[in-house]
Structure 1
Amino acid sequence: MAHSMMKKMNMSSVCVMMGVTRRVCVRSLGTDTSKTVTKKKENILPPEGEITKSVFMSQSTDIYTNLALEDWMYRNMDFTNHHVMMVWRNEPCVVIGRHQNPWLEANIPLLSEREIALARRNSGGGTVYHDRGNLNVTFFTPRERYDRKYNLELIKRALFRGFGIKSVINERQDIIIRDKYKVSGTAAKLGRLTGYHHCTLLVNANKADLSRALAKREHGIQTNATASTRSAVANLAEVDNKITVDSLQTALGYEYLRTPAMRLEDGGQNQISKQRGFQFINPTDDWFPGLAELKNDLKSWDWCFGRTPDFSVSRTFPVPAELLAPSKVYSATQELVINMTVVKGLINDVTLSIPPGLVESGFHGEASVITHLKGKRFTSEALSALQEAMLTRHLTSDVNKLDDREQFVAKCFDQVVNTV
C-alpha cells in the first residue's frame, strides 16, 4: 500500500517536483542579508502559510564540498520565507564534531592506509561514519523556528509511510528501530539568524568498515574534548531489504513537502503543489561564490586536526629483556614512559623517561633529543624528527641507521603519535 501510494504521488507530481535549477545566485536562493537583518531586528516572522519549502539535492559526494555547501547556505541564505531540506551523500569518510579529538574518536592509521577522509564539521555532537549507503539530511530555518523534534518526527513519519518501518526517538534524540538499534544520530548549529539541524540515516552502509574506522584503540589520551557515545547500530535495509538511499531520499522529500512549515499535519497533494519542489544543486563556485575557499578551509589540517581541544598523552612500554644489559639484575620491570601535551595539534611539551636498564645497555638517544619535537605536528612528522635527532647523537657521522634500542624507542613513539 505504502509503495503504491508513493508511486502514484511520484507520477502525478513529477512536473511540480523536479524543477532543476541551472544556476544558483544569491537572489534566486532567497539570500538578502539586509532583509534578514531587518526581520531579525524587528523580530517579525511570516505566518506559516507564507512559507514555502524546497528539497535541495547535492550533486557532490565529497564530504568537504558538502560541508562547505552546508556552511555557505547557513552564512548566506535567508530562510525567513523559505525553509530548505538538503539531502546529500558522501564517499567513505569519518566526520567528527566541532569539539572532538580525532585521535580519540577515529582509527587514524586505518583512515590513512585506506585513504578515507577525516572531516571536522561546524556543528557539535559525536563522530559518524559516512559512505554511499547512508543519507545525510540538513534542515535549514530561521533560528526562531528551529525545531529538532519536528524534523525527527517528520523522518519517523516518512519511514513508516514509505516503508512501513516503525521507529522511536529516544532521549538522546537518536532514531531507534527494533527497540535498541540506532539508525540515525543528530547534531545542530544555531547562529544569530539561522539554525540548522542535520542527521545521517543508515540505509545499507558497510557496518564492518564503520566498526573498523571508529574502533577504540589504546591511546593514553586525557582531554576535555566531547566524547562520542557508542551505540549498537543497524541499517534500515535490515528491516526492509527493498529500501535504498534513493527511495529514502524520495520518501523524505515528499514527506517534507506535504507537511506545513510548523505543524506535523499531512497536507497531501494540495500542500505539495504550493512548494518549490526538488532542486538539483551543483556545489561549485559558479553556483555559490566563495564555496571553494570554504571547502579548502574545511579540508585543511589546521581545521581537521589543529582545532582539536588541548590534550595530554601518557604511554608506558615494557622494555624487552634482550635490549637490556645482560650482566645487570634489575629490581623492577624496565619501562619506557612517554608523556606529551598537545596544543592545536602541535606537540607543546614532551618527556621521555628512559629506564636505567636501557641506558646501561648503551642507549645514547638521551632525552635531550626531545627539544627537536616541540612544535611538530602530532603525526608521523614528529616521529621523523625523533629519528633524525637520535641519528645526530651518534659520534660518527657515517651512521645512518638506528640501532635496536633506538628503533625500540622510535617504535614506541610511533604508537603514541599514531595512537596504534
Structure 2
Amino acid sequence: MAQATMKKIAMSSACIMVGITRRASARSLATSGKNLSAKKKERELPAEGEITKSVFMSQSTDIYTNLALEDWMYRNMDFSNHHVMMVWRNEPCVVIGRHQNPWLEANVPLLSEREIALARRNSGGGTVYHDRGNLNITFFTPRERYDRKYNLELIKRALFRGFGIKSTINERQDLIVRDKYKISGTASRLSRLTGYHHCTLLVNANKADLSKALAKREHGIQTNATPSTPSPVANLAELDNRVTVDSLQTAVGYEYLRTPALHLGDGGQDMISKQRGFQFVNPTDDWFPGLAELKNELQTWDWCFGRTPDFTVSRNFPVPAELLAPSKVYSATEELVINMSVVKGLIDDVTLNIPPGFVESGFHGEASVITHLKGKRFTSEALSALQEAMLTRHMNTDVKKLDEKEQFVAKCFDQVVNTI
C-alpha cells in the first residue's frame, strides 16, 4: 500500500520529488530533539520563514505501534524549526481516551469475540472506531505554537480544494458536513515543550461495525470517567466517491505543505518546494530506539483496562418464580441485586442482596462469593471465581455442577462483568 501511495503522489500535478526516507535521515530527524535542556525562561523560537514541514507516513497498520510512534515522537523530537504532520491508518480497533472507561464506551465482549483491538491512547477526548477506511492525522509542534483551529481549518481547505466538500467546525471542534454529520473527532496532548493534536477522518469506514463496536448497553456503571458524546456520522466517500484514504492523504498532505507554518496563507507550489515533503517512516526499534517498549506498555491489560478511573456497578435481576420458595406469596417481584466497586480494573468490593424467597429455596453462597471475588479482574475471570466459589459447597458430595439457583446467580453475574 505504501509503495502504491507513493507512486500516486509522485505522479500527481505537484512538482516536488517525494521519496522514501532513508533510515539514517529518519533517525537523524527523530533524534534531533534528544536531551533538550530544561529552561525556566520562555524559549526563543524561530521565525515562520525558518520553519520547514514534513508529512510522515507510517508504514504500520497496528494501533499499538502507531500510538507508540506518536508517543515516541512527542517525547523525543524537537519541533522548534521542523513541524510534522503524521498520517496513519489501522486495522479494525477501538481507541478510548486516557481518562475513559472501556466498559462504558465499547462493546468489550464483542471486541473480544471478533479479535478487534481495544487501545487506550495518551490524549484525552472520546472514543473512536478505526479501520482501514479511516485516515488518522497527528500535528506536532512546539507547545507555544500548538493551534488546533489552524489544523482543522487546514483540513477544511483540503476537503474543499481537493473535492469541493464543504465542512464546518462545531463548538466541540469536530468537523461536520451537511449541518449535523460528524466526519472527524479531535483530541490533543501538551507537555512543557511539545504539543500534538490528532484527529481521525471517516473516509469509507464500516459504519455497521462502528455502531456495533461502540454500542451502548445496560451496564449500571457509575463513574467520573470522561464520557463520549454520541453523534451521527458520515463517510466522506458518501459525499464524493472520489475520496479514498490515499487521495485524502495526498490532498491534506499537500495542503499542509503549501500552508505557512504559523498562519493560514497559501504559499502554493513555491512553498511546497521548500518543504521536506512526504516521507515514509518505518516504526521499528531500528528507526526509533525504544519504540518496542512503548508499544508493549500500550497493549497491556493494566494500561488498556487497569488505568480506568474507579467505578461502581449496581444491577437488579428479577428472580424467576420457579426458583423461589413455593410456600410463600410475594407482594412484589423478588430481585437479586449485585453491587460492586472496581478499582484499577479489579474488583475491590462486592455485595449480593438476596431476596428472602431465594434464600429459603436453598441458595447460601454469599459469603464465599465475596471472599473469592476481591482482587479479580472485572472480566470473565471474576465469573470463573464466582462459579468456583459456589462449587466449593459441593466438594463433599457427588454433585459436581451448579444447581439451578447457582446457575441463575452466575448468569446474572456474567451480565454484570460482561456488561451485556
TM-score (norm: length of structure 2): 0.95
Partner of 2:250: 250
- Check the 8 A contact 2:89/2:135 in 1, yes or no: yes
Work out the CA distance in 1 between the residues paired with 2:28 and 2:250.
27
Question: Cα gap change, 1:7/1:394 in structure 2, threshold over 3 Å: closer, same or farther?
Answer: closer
CA distance 1:387–1:417, shift in 2 (3 Å): same
Which amino acid in structure 2 is aligned with residue 415 of structure 1?
A: Q
Task: Kindly provide the amino acid, as one letter, of the partner of residue 156 in structure 2.
Answer: K
Q: Distance in 1 between matches of 2:43 and 2:366?
A: 65
Q: Determine the C-alpha separation between the residues in 1 that align with 2:366 and 2:338.
A: 13
Letter in 2 for 1:384: S
SS at match of 1:199: strand
> What does residue range 89-238 of structure 1 map to in structure 2 within 5 Å?
89-238=89-238
Q: Does 1:412 align with 2:412?
A: yes
Task: Provide the C-alpha distance between the structure 1 equivalents of 2:100 and 2:191, rounded to a whole number of angstroms.
Answer: 20
Aligned to 2:342: 342
Farther off after superposition, 205-214 or 20-29: 20-29
Alpha-carbon deviation of 1:39?
Answer: 7.0
Per the TM alignment, residue 360 of structure 1 is displaced from its structure 2 partner at its CA by: 1.0
Pairwise CA distance, 1:12 = 4.1
Moved more, 310-319 or 392-401: 392-401
Match of 1:22 in 2: 23
State the shift of 1:322 in Å: 1.1
Amino acid at match of 1:382: A
Moved over 4 A (4+): 6-9, 23-26, 38-42
Shift of 1:23: 4.3
Cα distance between partner residues in 2 of 1:356 and 1:67: 52
Deviation at 1:328, TM superposition (A): 2.2
TM-superposed deviation, 1:123: 0.2
Matched, 1:51 2:47: no
Where do 5+ consecutive residues of structure 2 fail to align? 1-7
Pairwise CA RMSD? 1.6
- 1:397-419 Cα shifts (integer Å, max 9, x gaps): 44321111100000000000010
Secondary structure of the corresponding residue to residue 338 of structure 2: strand
For 1:196-236, what per-residue CA distance to the aligned partner results, in whole angstroms no more than 9, with x for missing partners?
00000000000000000000000000000000001010000
Q: Indicate the SS of the match to 1:279.
A: strand
Counterpart check, 1:85 vs 2:85: yes
Query: Secondary structure of 1:45's partner?
Result: coil
1:33 Cα deviation after fit = 3.1
CA contact (8 A) 1:30 1:79 kept: no
- Asked if structure 2 preserves the Cα contact closer than 8 Å seen for 1:89 and 1:134, the reply is yes
Q: Kindly provide the CA deviation profile for residues 129-167 of structure 1, in whole angstroms up to 9, marking residues without a partner as x.
A: 000001000000000000000000000000000000000
Q: Give the Cα separation in 2 of the matches to 1:25 and 1:12.
A: 23
Determine if the alignment matches structure 1 residue 62 to structure 2 residue 55: no
Q: 1 CA distance for matches of 2:217 and 2:326?
A: 34
Is the 2:16–2:272 contact (alpha carbons within 8 Å) kept by the matching residues of 1?
A: no
Maintained 8 Å contact 1:95/1:130: yes
Contact 1:40/1:193 (<8 A) preserved: no
- SS state at 1:205 partner: coil
Inter-partner Cα distance in structure 1 for 2:57 and 2:414: 42
Query: Aligned partners of 1:144 and 1:40: how far apart in 2?
Result: 14
Percent pairwise identity: 82
Q: Residues 380, 267 of structure 1: CA spacing in aligned structure 2 closer, same or farther, 3 A cutoff?
A: same
The 8 Å contact of residues 224 and 309 in structure 1, kept in 2 or not, is answered as: yes
SS at structure 2 position matched to 1:141: strand
CA distance in 2, matches of 1:331, 1:192: 63
Is the contact made by 1:340 and 1:348 (CA closer than 8 Å) also made in structure 2?
yes
Aligned-partner Cα distance in 2 for 1:63–1:40:
36
AA partner of residue 61 (structure 2): T
Q: CA deviation digits over 1:63-92, x for unaligned, max 9? A: 000000000000000000100000000000
- Say whether the 8 Å CA contact 2:58–2:281 is kept in structure 1: yes
Aligned equivalents of 2:250, 2:385: Cα separation in 1: 52
Secondary structure, counterpart of 1:247 in structure 2: helix
| Residue correspondences, number | 413
Separation in structure 1 between the aligned mates of residue 38 and residue 384 of structure 2, nearest angstrom:
55
Q: Which residue of 1 aligns with 2:259?
A: 259
Match of 1:3? none
